Structure 1
């Protein structure tokens, strides 16, 4: 007699949660996403994705969408912040693909979420579900949400980010600790960039840096 597949509930519909759900479903498990937001958010900025990460998504069958929505920069060019003098220039593509079997890709977070979620059945992504609690029942887990929904699963995965409800329930509330680093983001129309192949990182005084990443947005 065949056994039913394990039912896995994943709390959090970000990059990690969606990728976990897709990987688990392709391995034969039942996986459902429970995301507190009413829609998969467009919040976020550009993401630099090395060939190791791109290779995982390609193996999951997302290569066409990833390469359609993302950009494959030809090189990275590092300059001094004060006088623009070149410190180093390194090739990215097509060398990354030749060496590692996948390209270096830059992509907007919203586009990446759309690419990954396209590999999942829509009915397996449950939006508007904010986790309130869960309980270990021995052979299964019971979880409940702010909209009154209660579910049973064989396993619960917490992929709900820096303010994780799963982590807080398991280990107690703990405020994030400031690491002393700040990132400021801005947008420049791509037609104003003379060289579309460059990803420029300019180390400034102290720990400051300026990064210009070509993107499809």
Structure 2
């Protein structure tokens, strides 16, 4: 298999007390020109946020911002008038479009663990939108769940020719991967899997083009980004 393995230990690590974060790609104070994203995928931040802390109101534009809450509850508020909690097993997608202001705060005692994902939009200065769903993949294991995409079968509409899928694959079970758009980028959240001859463990990601089979070496949660190759 012709593939590139992005090891967890090559991610950036930023710890400012209330926020302990691993950055797959250059972000904020951590910069590495080798890691600037893959195709339209620009950010995967693995964030642990202490109780009663979080991200105060700040702006974004022309970015698809996807949040996957793995543990705890984060409280959202934005300039479109949306507000409320996003709990473990829930996903949020903000299409920032022409511009949005928002905050994401942990208002509770329990630490929040979430993934913050940014994908470049293919629509410039579109009307901002907000979407939120419950899709706890741990409750329906061993299958891909289409979280976001440009087609009607996705739970949330993504302004990009890409798909975001997620799964919990139980030990010794298999799942197939075949890109619709051209590139597969599999990010392992927890556990470990085999993809071809590659061992991909928690925090690692594998980039490849071929059809492949994933085998779980133990219970493993993953996100699959099906991305369009950029010329």
Q: TM-score, normalised by structure 2?
A: 0.24
Between Structure 1 and Structure 2, the one with more helix by share is 1
Higher relative strand content: 2
With normalisation by structure 1, the TM-score equals: 0.25
Return the index of the structure with the highest Cα Rg. Answer: 1
